Structure 1
């Protein structure tokens, strides 16, 4: 791992080189995939980070691989959305997958699709952030009344989870 730290100081090219020199067994370790993706995002190499995440998810589902996805700024979000949809079909409805898909769709203006994804996530697990994302998407679709209702529901959920002391 000291080599990885030294490569990280060289930027994303150093990390790429280090990653490619690792054995397949090493590259398939989820914790290492997540750490590499995080470092690559910090180095502003979003495309390589996306590829590592996608490769990891194709091999096995793990929430840790999904968590960095909203921070990705990639030139090919469709590939990521395709993988997220495939994961939903393969591993089943998971609120994290639906929420992540919704956030990805919002990044490039797929407001209607994003609302469907957030509703699917909220149906399984109420979450204040998903209510806020859904409200933003509804605002973009010129549905202010429903957006206000979602913000209210999110606020009520936050108040229930954090009662006054």
Structure 2
């Protein structure tokens, strides 16, 4: 309303100046307009006044049309703050209804607050409501609209991609994320989701190509991603060409990748899945001869062979260096159990639970006792293990 008053005052001042100026300089000036047999003659001042009044009339017509549109959509302002406050009330009402689980009511309320000073958050909220209602087409429309707001662009595309992933459409989710600009694509949520989409579509080579750029953003989460990508690539090679081709592929990798802990873990994992336990043991022992690595130690539990002497010696050496670490005893117990050495398994596991009572170790001890035909001890360990779980 204040802007309208200021505009009217400016127009009045301009008209006053037009009326006074000719009187001061003594020359009014005339304009002659001829259209066929019609002749229109007026002063310059009259012409300017007509033009100004015409423009003012057009402005009022545009405002009236905008108001009529707002009546039907509930999305336009008319004379300022009254409409603004009304949309804000609907916005807050929508949030409250959404929080209470009244999705239909929330959707209706957000529908009356589509435009306004919400920077796209109202659109994001209504998109979430429509997604839960199963209205995917409407959800997509709202998210595309929200992406037009700079502050909501990343959130809108991430929401859209997550919903597509939930619908098992990772390729479409990837396309939605690729609509973001270079700077927006550096956001952690975008990178993590893009990596997930690439993984689900089996684009392991692309992940490995992007990883050097993503490590700074993902930080510690980059290691499991690298491992997953490497494992996917190794599985692809093994399934198509066989285990020997997998070993050859590993040898042909650059030294930097072969020294990468994520690649090492993925390679050993695939060797074990291919049943190549001896090769896996050789790698695990060789890579940890100068010290155990947290990512590789748990993989020793999966080795299954009659005599895993190198792996057992590795764990016994680690125990001598740190005799108070329960994990070392636990791994040694699992190794011995897998090899059928029940005596060593029992001693190691008893030491492990003495240092730290772990349900998995207790359950394994129960299995050891069962194989030793000591059912009473097995039952006691089972009960203790179940108690530790609860």
Cα offset for 1:25?
4.2
8 Å contact from structure 1 (residues 99, 121) kept in 2: yes
1:101-140 to structure 2, matched below 5 A, reads: 101-140=332-371
* 1:12-161 map, 5 Å: 12-74=243-305, 76-159=307-390
The answer for unaligned runs of 5 or more in structure 1 is 160-165
Q: Deviations over 1:33-79 (max 9, x none)?
A: 11100111122222211111111221331122121222223354122
Structure 2 portions without partners, runs of 5+: 1-203, 209-229
Find the counterpart in structure 2 of residue 163 from structure 1.
none
Q: Is the 8 A contact 2:300 2:331 kept in 1?
A: yes
The separation in 2 between residues aligned to 1:74 and 1:86, in whole angstroms, is 20
Higher alpha-carbon Rg: 2
**RMSD, aligned CA:** 2.3
SS in 2 for 1:58: coil
Provide the rounded CA distance (Å) in 1 between the counterparts of 2:304 and 2:353.
25
- Following superposition, the deviation at residue 115 of structure 1 comes to 0.9
The alignment covers a number of residue pairs equal to 159
Within 2, Cα distance between the matches of 1:92 and 1:29?
Answer: 29
Q: What is the Cα deviation at residue 150 of structure 1?
A: 1.3
Higher relative contact order (CA 8 A, sep 6+): 1
> Which shows bigger deviation, 6-15 or 118-127?
6-15
Distance 1:91 1:24 in 2: 31
Q: In 2, are the aligned partners of 1:61 and 1:91 still within 8 Å (CA)?
A: no
- Scaled by the length of structure 2, the TM-score of the pair is 0.38
The alignment partner of 2:292 has SS state of coil
Q: Per-residue deviation at 1:106?
A: 1.4
State the distance in 2 between where 1:90 and 1:29 align. Answer: 25
Measured in 2, the distance between the counterparts of 1:20 and 1:153 equals 47
C-alpha distance after superposition, 1:101-130 (max 9, x if no partner):
111111232212111111111122211111
Q: How far, CA to CA, are the matches of 1:106 and 1:158 in structure 2?
A: 22
Give me the TM-score of the superposition, normalised by structure 1: 0.82
